[in-house]
Every structure is written in C-alpha cells, then in structure tokens.
Structure 1
Amino acid sequence: MECSSAPSVEIVAERPPSWIVCSSPALIGMSPASAIRGAAAWLAPAARPDQHDLMTPPAPGIPAPAIRPGARIAILGGGLSGALFALHLLRDHPALPFVIDIVEPRERLGAGLAYDTDNPMLRINVSAARMALFDEDRTHFDRWLRARGLPEDPDAERPDGTLFPRRCLFGIYVAGLLADAAASSAGPARLRHVRDRAVAVEGAAGDPPGSRGFAIELAGGGTVAADLVVLAMSHPPAALPAPLRDLPEPVASRVLADPWDSRALDSIPYGDRVVVIGTGLTGCDVIAGLRGQGPKHGGHRGPIVGLSRHGLLPRPRTALPVEAYGDFTTGPATDALALLRRVRAAIAGCEAAGRPWEDVVDALRKQAFVLWNALPKSEQRRALRHLRTFWDVHRYQCAPQIDETMRAAQADGQLEIVAASLRGVEAAPDGGVVLTLHPRHAPDVVRRRLQTDWIVNCTGPAHGGVLSSNPLLGAMAAAGMLVADPTGLGIAVDADAHLLRPDGSAWPSLFVVGPLARGTFGELMGLPQISMQPRALAAHVASLAGKALAA
C-alpha cells in the first residue's frame, strides 16, 4: 500500500532503544533558504537567501538564551510543525553546532495527527502544487508526487491536471525531507528522534527552569537535557458537547468521541443510523470514510445526519487560479465589524472583476498577522464568536473528491445536513439514541427529536481547553511557566514565539511553534503559514545562537 511506505531511513540505536538517529540517501537537492522577515512581512516579497536574521531581536528585558557549542534543542512534538522547525534549522543553518532532539512517540516524524493515516478516503484539501513548504520552491511536493507516481490512486489527478492525493503521502514526503536533511548536512548539527512523550519541563540539576537549561521528563522514565525548548504539540482533541458528557450506559457507548479512531468507525454496522456532530472538514472526512467502507467498498448504507449549529459545509475549491486580492493592512480595521465590511467590499470588487472570492480569502490568509493584531483582544474574541464559523468554511475548503462524495450522499438521500443545537440525549427503546435538537432560527420552544444508532463527535480541536487536555502543558501552567491565550486559541506567546509567563514576561529559551501559537499569529492552521512560522522561528533561534557563539 502506498501509505505504508516510508523514506529510506537508517536507524541507529543509541542509549535506550527509543533513541534513534535519522539518516537517509539524498532525495532531491534544494536551494538554500529564502525565508520571510517575521510574520508581519508575510505580505512582502520573499527575502534573499542571505537574509537569515528574520525575526526581531529579543524585546528589552528578555535576556538572550545561553547557547554554547553543542547546545541541545528539544522539540516537544514531532508532527508537522515540529518536524518543519527541525527541517528548516538543518537546511537553512547547517553550520550551527546543535544537537536537536525531537520528542515524539510516533514512528514517523512530520506526519502528526493529520497525515499519520492509512485511510485511503482522506485526502489533502489543497492541490499538491499549493502545498508549499519552501517559499522559493512552491511546487516541490507536486514534482515529488509526479516523480514517484500514483499507480494505486487514479482518482488523485483531477480533470484540470491538479493533484489531490491521499493525505498519508504528504506525511511520507515530510518525513523523507527531514531524514534527508539530517543525513546530508555537512555541518555539526545532529538530529535525534526520541520515541517517547514529554510529561514535564523542569530546571536542570534542580535549578529554576532555564537558569542552567532544562530537564525534560519522559513518560518512559528517562530525561532529555536541553538548553532551549520548542513546544510543538499537535492540536488538542475535540471536546464533547455538554449534552454528551457523563452519559450513562448504554447511551455512552454509542458516542464515538474520537473521530480519528478508525477501528471504532469501522465497527459501525453498515446499515446503522449515524449522526455526525460538526460539519467542518473533519465531519466531511468521517462521512466520506463511511461512504467508502463496507463489503467490496459498497459503502455505508444507513442514513447519515450531519449536525451543526449553522448547518454549513466547507466550500468546494474553485478551478480558477487564485491570486491574493485586497489590502487589509493599510489602516487596518480595529473592530470586527469594520473588518467584515472591508472583506465584503473586497469580495464585491472581485466579483466585478470576474475573479473568485477565494482571492480575498488568500489575501486575508497572507495578511492575517497584521490584521489580527490590529484588533484589540475584545474585538478578537468578538470576531471569533460571530465570524469564525463563516471564516472556517471558506478558508478550509474540501478536496474535490470529498466534496463530490458529500454531494452524492445528499443527492441520493442518504445524507441530511441539519442546522440545529443539541439540547439533550437519551436512550431509545430500540437500543439506539434519541437526540433533542433546537433547529436554528426556530422559536426557543420548538424541538426536534432525532433517533440514531451512533453519534460521532467532529466538533474540532478544543484549543480553549488545551491546558486541561494536555498533561505537559497543564503541569507547566500549574508551575507558573505558561498561561492560556486570552482568545482561547492556544497558549500565550509574543510576536517572536517566545512563551509567555502569567505576568506577561517572555522566556528567553522557551518557544512555541505551530497551531498553539495561533492566538498571536492569527493563522497557523494551514499551509503555507504552518511552514512559514517554523522557518521564521528557526531563523530567529539561529540568529540568537550566532550572536551568542560570537560573543
């Protein structure tokens, strides 16, 4: 199977067997970095390859981290964000004498939750030509796919020639790039994969954290020493809606809390009734997966209901080329309503010019850091409360194959999309479950009762509860090392991704990369932003290290 393949990696046991050194034959040569000058400059042309000092110097009052030759950098989390930070550090700054430890229990680095799957129904939701990891070589993944070939997936190529392959292939691609960078680096930098999970970050030798480095406790009982730590955790799990919590049996066993538990989904009888709560990308993936399962891939035969408060599905992708349209950073809006008006005016301008509305979304994506930070925290929360759902369905669009599956399921009457709020759950006489719903826009006294056999929770990552769902972050918060972001989008960081303490001061040697920093950066859920921030942070860390080593 294409998803079970992996890059050629030589594994060398070192210390306990869970420590490995990554190396591989060279894959495809790449030019040096031409990264971006900080998140705010995502609007500007690509920087020259010699522009490595990409982020601002530490703010006044933030001491420079103590970095020495042979310094150890610990990356806690080896999903896409953590792997890309290591990749950019190795590729862009190979002369720096770092030992990089990625603490990640999964075998494959770079895959994370999204790309560590063998489900053939799950696809990347952006064409391969737009899955850019390198600003100077945006079509690298597309070329890699075409050189590799897709003999087991004839549906990957669309009529217009674009590729939307199975999602697992992107994970294999990232893992190969990282292994290649580790093997081909001519400098002293070294990468190690620690097959374990971090449970605590403390001071080295009993000292206060950061004073003489850090000691990272592992679930398996060992420790990792580090001079600098990068938190690169994956998305937190979805939280169950209140009516689905603490249910008695047998109702509780009919609720599948984890939409990525393929075994649980595969155990649903093919003729049973299913309610999928949440109609975003995850909900669509689950529905498409149900349609693709069953004897001889005939698919799930029972009725499916997609339930969400607004009843909105991700928009299908346009076949037209997308180019950013609209300037939202010159005199940026300082309240959510003004921003909405500017977006609507830009969309009207697009329509008048015969361009797709996606051009405006592309501009918003690229300018997210500036426009997001122009809003006061109260207006950020207001935007999230009133506009987030509409942003999500336009920003995170379906792969065309998934969209076609959803439309076919609706056309043949199997799938119903319901806009309603869940108010209650109880056992049904036939052994199933009865949901009590309040339809959207209906008077408050109106209720609809919906009978089903299974409930699948697809409400999306619960970023607001990350301190309670992630034991490591919860322990660091209890120790006064970090605090939740005030918008509920992760944990608090500054504009250079330094982790913030509860008093607002920044840690000089603790950083955050990936979606958990979204409260500050505004857009870290999709490519290319999810690669640009790790690259900018790698340049920032390299700059700090270069200055420290030269002192």
Structure 2
Amino acid sequence: MQRISIIGSGFCGTALAIHLLQKADRPLHIRLINRTGPLARGLAYGTRSASHILNVPAERMSLFADKPSDFLDFARQELPDAQPGDFLPRRLFGDYLQQRLTEALANRPPVVTFDGMHAHVIDLRREDNQYRLCLKDGRKIDSDNVVIATGNFTPATPGVLTHLLGDSRYIDDPWRTGALQGIAADARILLLGSGLTMYDMALALQERQHRAPLLAISRRALQPHGHRDNAEHPRLPQLPSNLLVEGSARQLLARIRTFVRDAEADGFDWRDAVAALRPVTPALWQSLDTHERGRYLCHLQPYWDVHRHRAAPIIASRIEQLRQAGQLRTQAARLVSATSTGAALQLQIRPRGHQELRTLEVDHIINCTGPCNDLRHLDEPMLSALQARGELVQDDNRIGLRVDDHYHLLDAAGRAQSGLYLLSPMLRSHYWESTAVPELRQHAETLARQLLG
C-alpha cells in the first residue's frame, strides 16, 4: 500500500487530500497532518471575523477547475442571493473546505484509508527508501511520499524590533489567536506595513471599537487597490507576441506597461489587463535570471502586488472610510528604532525622501509586513534540519524553495528528491504565482495525478 503524508492542512494540503481521495483506484493510505487547529481550515480560513472577506470573487474560488461554481453552490446554501462576482466571508470558505473533505472521505474507495492527525513534524529523514517523520512528541511515522504543504509563515521581525520579541507591546504575529485582545480602545498603534494584512488589522481593531487613530508606515506607503464590484467574467485583452521575450526586469516592466496602456486605449479596465497576464506569469518569471529576479523583488514587486493582489470592494471602501474619518493614516517611512519609555514605546522613523528623523510615541506595534519565506527568520525545525543536511535549498532571493517542474524538492547538488514534494506558497521561487486559489488548486490536482500515476 502506498503511503502519502501531507504536512499541513490549509488549502494546499486539503485540496491535495481531496484529489487523492477522489482519484485513487488502488490501495493508498493518506495521512493529513496539522500542527494546530481544525483540519481543512488553515490560517486564512480559520478566522470567524466578519471583516475578513475573501479577496477573490466566489466564482474563482472553487476547489475544482472543472467545476467553477462549486464554492458558489455551497455558499448559496447559507447565502441564497450570493452572486458569482461576490466577495464572501473567509469563514465560509473554511466551512466549504471542511465539507468537501468530509464528503471525499465518505465517498472514497474501500482500498483508500485516511488518517487526519494533529502533530508537529520536527524532522524528516530518508531511510531505507522511505521517509521517517519525527514528531515533537517522540513518535515516528513512515511514509513512501511526503508533501510539504505548510502554507504561509508568520512575518519576520525587523532587526530594530528583535529586542521586543515577547513584549506584549509588540505583536509579532497578528494572526495568533487573541493577538489583539490586550489592546485598549484608546491605545496609540503603529501598523508596520501597508498591504492586505494592514487592512485586516485596521478593520479588526475597528470591530473592537478602537477609538485612537492608527498610523501605518511602509517604505513606499503603497496600498492595495480594490476589485471592481460584481465584475462577472470580464473580457480580457489579447497578449502581445513580444511579451515573453527574454530580457531584464526593466524591459519586462516596459512591455507590461505598454500592454496595459494599449488595453486601456482599447476600452479595457487595467484590472482586465493584469488578469490577462495571469496564465503567463510563471513563464514571465522564469524568463528572468536570478539577478533580474532580485531587481524585480527590490524595485518592482511592491507595485505589482498592489495591482495584482487587490482587496474586496467592501474592504477597500471601509478602509477609505477610516481614512476619511481620520482614523487611519498611511506614511512612506522606515522604522529606525524603538525604545521603551515606561509603558509606551518611543519610535524614530525616517520619512521617505528625508534625512531627519521623526519621533513619536505609541503603545503597540503590530507587524503587518506579511508572510515571511526566508528560512533565516523562521522557527521551523523540520525545514531547518532538511536545510542543514543539504536536503532542501532556499532560492537565491529567499522567497521560496528550489523545486523541479514536478514539485520535487531539490537538494544542495541540484538533484530532485524522490518522494519529497512541495505544495505551498514557497513554490513562488519557481512559478511566482503560487499564493491564490486558482493557481494552487491546479498545482494540487497536478501533483495528485503525479502521485497516483
């Protein structure tokens, strides 16, 4: 009997398990391992907050590419008036994942067995043509194939704040259960970062009746644009033939800008032009060498992110209301230092384009810089152990792990690790687009077929 262990049960791990349960036609044992929390929800969809809304319309959130309305059909059991272009609660998507996993388990072939378990895998070793998973509680599990599907990791703490780790005034992980509970309604708060996580935290604080104005800072103060409201199946512009020509990041940007301008001149919305780029984004990314990818990450990625990873219309509207009411201000600045002054924190920030420092006092700092994929800043024993033995390698730009075209992790010698796979946002080092459901569901289905092939 083939044994497959999936480490992580957020979207990636759950989607893979469902495809395996549905497609297996021979003896198979699937083990789905989650460190904490319920199976099939993960970090993003375990929330119960009403302000946490999906950033993708319902029609594009199906687990199955060949059944695009599957999530919408499920959602209509609770929200009968839900439309394809609606942006629905993340909580509802978590319910959907759990329900589809339950159904796949109930309908699996008799030769397929399943074990969902809570455990912390701290090491993974290749022994006698199989993998041995070492758990924190001392147990060991053997498996023929292992898929690392660990999802997004917590934000990295900037060097100027490391001395505040463990201090209740610094919230290093905004997604930790109860992270905001100790914050008084009149507390002065610095939100470090101005992306989608900042939006979530600002609205979560508003839900808690927070009264004091919020300040968000980031290097450029760029903020995610909003989606259009109920834009169903927009017509997409045709991609130009010269888009995939190899060149520098600057040249690629110039070609993309020309494409977007031409599309707008032809009557398309810029969002349609960005959507048209989606199928070829992996090829665009792979056309850049390591140096040019680094230049892109340093200079261009923030601009791409605010156009590509947009907020639901209602979220963008609420953020604008906070801004208009004076409850949220965003500034382009860099945090230089943080010093404890009694109960408060005295900060020095350097506004963009200025040499002089500005001093301010806050009661709390919330790290909203987004997920970190740099192994140097992660407390992940399993990944650290594999890296120390040269059995996995971080890409040169430290945004993911090196893999081949079949999801095998590569070792330090560049060899594919037989039986060891990656299915997570850490695939961005190879594909770039590997954070949203439409791409991840395709990766999950492709890997499932490969494992069963």
The reply to whether TM is greater than 0.5 is yes
5+ unaligned residues in a row in structure 2: which ranges?
none
Q: Does 1:358 align with 2:276?
A: no
Deviation at 1:131, TM superposition (A): 1.2
Quick check: 227-236 or 180-189, which moved more? 180-189
Counterpart residue type for residue 15 of structure 2: L
Instruction: Write the distance in 2 (CA, Å) between the matches of 1:136 and 1:495.
Output: 23
Question: Which residue of structure 2 lines up, in the alignment, with residue 283 of structure 1?
Answer: 198
Q: Deviations over 1:369-389 (max 9, x none)?
A: 211111111111111111111
Question: Which residue of structure 2 lines up, in the alignment, with residue 41 of structure 1?
Answer: none
Question: Which residue of structure 2 lines up, in the alignment, with residue 42 of structure 1?
Answer: none
Contact kept, 8 Å, 1:236 with 1:470, in 2: the verdict is no
Instruction: Write the distance in 1 (CA, Å) between the matches of 2:164 and 2:328.
Output: 26
Counterpart secondary structure, 1:263: coil
Contact kept, 8 Å, 1:231 with 1:511, in 2: the verdict is yes
Quick check: 416-425 or 464-473, which moved more? 464-473
Contact kept, 8 Å, 2:190 with 2:364, in 1: the verdict is yes
Contact kept, 8 Å, 2:3 with 2:145, in 1: the verdict is yes
Q: Does 1:241 align with 2:158?
A: yes
Instruction: Write the distance in 2 (CA, Å) between the matches of 1:257 and 1:494.
Output: 33
Deviation at 1:133, TM superposition (A): 2.1
Residue pairs, 1:475-494, within 5 angstroms: 475-494=385-404
Q: Deviations over 1:327-380 (max 9, x none)?
A: 377643332011101110111112112211111221222212211111111111
Deviation at 1:413, TM superposition (A): 0.8
**Alignment counterpart, residue 339 of structure 2, candidates 416, 423, 426:** 426
Question: Which residue of structure 2 lines up, in the alignment, with residue 499 of structure 1?
Answer: 409
Instruction: Write the distance in 2 (CA, Å) between the matches of 1:441 and 1:328.
Output: 37
Residue pairs, 1:207-218, within 5 angstroms: 209=127, 211-218=128-135
Counterpart residue type for residue 72 of structure 1: R
**Alignment counterpart, residue 106 of structure 2, candidates 171, 183, 187:** 183
Contact kept, 8 Å, 2:156 with 2:377, in 1: the verdict is no
Question: Which residue of structure 2 lines up, in the alignment, with residue 515 of structure 1?
Answer: 425
Counterpart residue type for residue 131 of structure 1: M
Q: Which has the larger radius of gyration?
A: 1
Q: Does 1:138 align with 2:68?
A: yes
Counterpart secondary structure, 1:463: coil
Contact kept, 8 Å, 1:270 with 1:301, in 2: the verdict is yes
Q: Does 1:85 align with 2:2?
A: no
Instruction: Write the distance in 2 (CA, Å) between the matches of 1:337 and 1:415.
Output: 34
Cα distance change on mapping 1:147 and 1:216 into 2, 3 Å: same
Q: Deviations over 1:431-483 (max 9, x none)?
A: 312221111122xx222222211110111111123674211100111122111
Q: Deviations over 1:288-342 (max 9, x none)?
A: 100111xxxxx21111011111111110112344344353776433320111011
Counterpart secondary structure, 2:178: helix
Question: Which residue of structure 2 lines up, in the alignment, with residue 412 of structure 1?
Answer: 325
**Alignment counterpart, residue 126 of structure 1, candidates 56, 64, 74:** 56
Cα distance change on mapping 1:467 and 1:503 into 2, 3 Å: farther
Deviation at 1:171, TM superposition (A): 1.1
**Alignment counterpart, residue 258 of structure 1, candidates 161, 173, 178:** 173
Cα distance change on mapping 1:137 and 1:466 into 2, 3 Å: farther
Cα distance change on mapping 1:183 and 1:370 into 2, 3 Å: same
Residue pairs, 1:46-445, within 5 angstroms: 70-91=1-22, 93-149=23-79, 162-186=85-109, 188-203=111-126, 209=127, 211-247=128-164, 252-293=167-208, 299-319=209-229, 320-321=231-232, 322-327=234-239, 331-428=244-341, 431-442=343-354, 445=355
Deviation at 1:135, TM superposition (A): 1.4
Counterpart secondary structure, 1:246: helix
**Percent identical across equivalent pairs?**
31
Counterpart secondary structure, 2:293: helix
TM-align CA RMSD: 2.0
Structure 1 runs of 4+ with >6 Å offset: none
Cα distance change on mapping 1:199 and 1:271 into 2, 3 Å: same
Cα distance change on mapping 1:145 and 1:215 into 2, 3 Å: same
Quick check: 503-512 or 97-106, which moved more? 97-106
Cα distance change on mapping 1:247 and 1:328 into 2, 3 Å: farther
Q: Which has the higher strand share?
A: 2
Contact kept, 8 Å, 1:466 with 1:473, in 2: the verdict is no
Counterpart residue type for residue 261 of structure 1: R
Contact kept, 8 Å, 2:174 with 2:366, in 1: the verdict is yes
**Alignment counterpart, residue 453 of structure 1, candidates 357, 363, 366:** 363
Instruction: Write the distance in 2 (CA, Å) between the matches of 1:198 and 1:448.
Output: 45
5+ unaligned residues in a row in structure 1: which ranges?
1-69, 151-155, 204-208, 294-298, 544-551
Instruction: Write the distance in 2 (CA, Å) between the matches of 1:466 and 1:143.
Output: 43
Instruction: Write the distance in 2 (CA, Å) between the matches of 1:363 and 1:428.
Output: 51
Counterpart secondary structure, 2:223: coil
Counterpart secondary structure, 1:193: strand
Deviation at 1:176, TM superposition (A): 1.2
Counterpart secondary structure, 2:179: helix
Q: Deviations over 1:256-293 (max 9, x none)?
A: 11111342312211111111101111111000100111
Contact kept, 8 Å, 2:58 with 2:84, in 1: the verdict is no
Q: Deviations over 1:43-62 (max 9, x none)?
A: xxxxxxxxxxxxxxxxxxxx
Instruction: Write the distance in 1 (CA, Å) between the matches of 2:377 and 2:187.
Output: 36
Instruction: Write the distance in 2 (CA, Å) between the matches of 1:542 and 1:280.
Output: 39
Contact kept, 8 Å, 1:81 with 1:531, in 2: the verdict is yes
Instruction: Write the distance in 2 (CA, Å) between the matches of 1:397 and 1:248.
Output: 31
Deviation at 1:485, TM superposition (A): 1.7
Cα distance change on mapping 1:485 and 1:329 into 2, 3 Å: farther
